[in-house]
């Protein structure tokens, strides 16, 4: 690891275009505003630690053509444009960036004018999405720090800033479209390692805080006062956890210690945004370590309150299934296989569904209407916190209902389960149930044989299965919904 980090700041010189694919535009930026004295005041280079091109390892060949095109186009039009965020951070760590974000002094409207397939999204925080085939480059205008805006606050004549911000009474940012200089932009970002800027103008890296040191020390450090920054946007707590898990970083002491105090603010974040964040947390290849941190920092209870409560009760098969599903999700993503959020959420809420049904073993097997009613209750409670879209909740219900159908031992049920569009997911779920320690009489193996068999073998298996129909067990119902 040390070797890798040394590479970060003493990388080979990027020798002009030698060994590097030609940039999208061969034209140098029209005016070198980085060197221009009036605009360098705007850029506040005196505030930055500058790492020259021969002292870092970022090479244009690792930046997508789309991102380069945006950087050069903005530069050619006389704007400042920088790669920033995860793109720079991940390149410095030797990782492949998930996407490329660009920060510029062009306004959203100016950016939009320059790129045909672009659109401005977001109200709270305006971003321009520039589409190149399947790749989307996110461009944002430099933002400035601002306190709550008082009535009557007017921008001074000629002020570059446009006052358009709003805070809630708790300090949460409702709108954040006050434009500013790059150093201000840097300090508005979430963590020091996400606030490093790379320019193709002269291939320099700029750091306005302690991003370089923190990257070397593998630390996630909130920019500014963590209490204020978490109040402004409680999702930053989730992002801190996500980056620690993904990058295998530690959290800096102050950034860490006040999470406990402010985690409850996640209740004021919209369930729709929490759904997006939950996907980034759990469906990005690091679900297992992320989940450990979500529990450790006690923020998971604001995303999946019912699940977290039940998980704290110890190692039941249902709880084990959650762990196995997280592990499988990570493994599949590592192999470039797709994952469906429905499967993941079906697994996360499986302990809750079982608890709701008081379904603790073969003697308490519920019937279909009971599963349907419980699924409604469980999903309804969950979406108050994380708004799982309907297309996923429908699939979750199907996976759960099919668990029952897969256990039915008659020809028609077997055929209809096998032909169900959600069969594969339900079968995988069944295997996880067995792996987690639930005794299902080797049902998973039966379905594996069934799928692999030819028509004749399928018929034989079905007949043998129907003959082996166990005596109907009476469901011993305890009153459900009491929790303990």
The catalytic position among 90, 176, 185, 190 is 190
Question: What three-state secondary structure class fits 119?
Answer: strand
Which of Mg ion, ligand ATP, none does residue 189 bind to, with CB < 5 to 8 Å depending on kind? ligand ATP
Crossing angle for the helix pair 455-467 and 411-418, to the nearest 10 degrees: 130
> Given the DSSP bridges, would you call strands 165-167 and 205-207 parallel, antiparallel or unpaired?
unpaired
Q: Is 101 a catalytic residue?
A: yes
Which of ligand ATP, Mg ion, none does residue 194 bind to, with CB < 5 to 8 Å depending on kind? ligand ATP
Task: Give residues with Cβ within 8 angstroms of 128, minimum separation 6.
Answer: 108, 111, 112, 115, 118, 119, 120, 121, 138, 139, 140
Per DSSP, which regions of 182-340 are E strands? 196-198, 205-207, 219-220, 250-251
Q: How far is the CB of 284 from Mg ion (least distance, A)?
A: 11
Nearer to ligand ATP, 269 or 402 (CB): 269
Which of ligand ATP, Mg ion, none does residue 190 bind to, with CB < 5 to 8 Å depending on kind? ligand ATP
Please count the other Cβ atoms lying within 10 Å of the Cβ belonging to residue 435: 14
Q: How far is the CB of 420 from ligand ATP (least distance, A)?
A: 35
Closest CA to 438 of 359, 375, 374: 359
Which of Mg ion, ligand ATP, none does residue 207 bind to, with CB < 5 to 8 Å depending on kind? none
Using CB under 5 A as the binding rule, whether residue 234 contacts Mg ion is answered as: no
Nearer to ligand ATP, 34 or 235 (CB): 235
d(CA 151, CA 153): 5
d(CA 297, CA 47): 34
Q: Is 276 a catalytic residue?
A: no
Using CB under 5 A as the binding rule, whether residue 86 contacts Mg ion is answered as: yes
Region 96-135 residues binding Mg ion, contact defined as CB under 5 A:
99, 101
Q: Is 190 a catalytic residue?
A: yes
Which residue has the CB atom at the shortest distance from Mg ion? Answer: 86
The catalytic position among 101, 233, 306, 355 is 101
Q: How far is the CB of 273 from Mg ion (least distance, A)?
A: 16
Nearer to Mg ion, 99 or 428 (CB): 99
Residue 172 and residue 233 in contact, taking contact as beta carbons nearer than 8 Å = yes
**Interface ranges with ligand ATP (CB under 6 A):** 85-86, 98-99, 101, 189-190, 194-195, 233, 235-236
Q: How far is the CB of 96 from ligand ATP (least distance, A)?
A: 10
Task: Give residues with Cβ within 8 angstroms of 449, minimum separation 6.
Answer: 457, 461
What does DSSP assign to residue 28?
P
Nearer to ligand ATP, 98 or 477 (CB): 98
What does DSSP assign to residue 167?
E
Catalytic residues: 99, 101, 190
Q: Which residues bind Mg ion (CB under 5 A)?
A: 85-86, 99, 101
């Amino acid at each position: 690891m040390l070797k890798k980090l040394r590479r970060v700041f003493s990388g080979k010189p990027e020798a002009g275009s030698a060994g590097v694919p030609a940039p999208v535009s061969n034209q140098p930026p029209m005016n070198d505003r980085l060197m221009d004295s009036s605009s360098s005041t705007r850029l506040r280079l005196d505030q930055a630690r500058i790492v020259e091109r021969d002292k870092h390892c970022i090479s244009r060949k690792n930046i997508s053509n789309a991102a380069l095109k945006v950087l050069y186009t903005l530069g050619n039009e006389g704007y400042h444009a920088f790669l920033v965020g995860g793109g720079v951070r991940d390149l410095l760590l030797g990782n492949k960036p998930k996407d490329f974000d660009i920060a510029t002094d062009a306004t959203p409207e100016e950016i939009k004018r320059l790129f045909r397939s672009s659109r401005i999204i977001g109200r709270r925080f305006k971003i321009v999405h520039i589409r190149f085939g399947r790749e989307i480059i996110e461009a944002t205008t430099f933002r400035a720090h601002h306190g709550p805006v008082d009535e009557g606050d007017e921008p001074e004549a000629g002020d570059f800033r446009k006052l358009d911000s709003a805070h809630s009474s708790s300090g949460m940012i409702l709108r954040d479209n006050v434009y500013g200089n790059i150093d201000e932009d840097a300090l508005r970002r979430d963590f020091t390692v996400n606030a490093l800027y790379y320019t193709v103008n002269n291939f320099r890296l700029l750091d306005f805080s302690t991003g370089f040191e923190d990257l070397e020390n593998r630390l996630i450090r909130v920019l500014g006062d963590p209490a204020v920054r978490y109040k402004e946007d409680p999702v930053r707590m989730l992002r801190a956890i996500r980056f620690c898990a993904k990058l295998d970083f530690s959290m800096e002491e102050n950034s860490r210690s006040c999470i406990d105090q402010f985690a409850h603010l996640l209740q004021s974040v919209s369930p729709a945004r929490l759904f997006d964040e939950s996907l980034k947390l759990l469906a990005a290849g690091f679900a297992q370590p992320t989940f450990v941190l979500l529990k450790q920092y006690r923020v998971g209870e604001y995303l999946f309150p019912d699940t977290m409560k039940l998980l704290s009760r110890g190692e039941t098969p249902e709880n084990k299934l959650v762990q196995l599903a997280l592990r499988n999700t990570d493994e599949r993503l590592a192999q470039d296989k797709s994952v469906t959020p429905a499967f993941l959420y079906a697994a996360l809420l499986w302990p809750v569904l079982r608890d709701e049904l008081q379904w603790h073993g073969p003697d308490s097997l519920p019937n279909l209407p009971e599963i349907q009613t419980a699924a409604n209750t469980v999903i309804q409670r969950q979406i108050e916190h994380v708004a799982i879209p309907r297309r996923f909740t429908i699939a979750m219900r199907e996976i759960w209902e099919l668990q029952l159908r897969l256990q039915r031992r008659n020809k028609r049920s077997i055929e209809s389960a096998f032909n169900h569009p959600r069969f594969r997911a339900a079968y995988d779920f069944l295997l996880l149930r067995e792996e987690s320690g639930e005794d299902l009489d080797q049902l998973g193996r039966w379905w594996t044989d069934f799928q692999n068999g030819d028509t004749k073998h399928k018929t034989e298996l079905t007949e043998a299965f129907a003959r082996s129909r166990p005596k109907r067990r009476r469901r011993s119902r305890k009153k459900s919904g009491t929790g303990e």
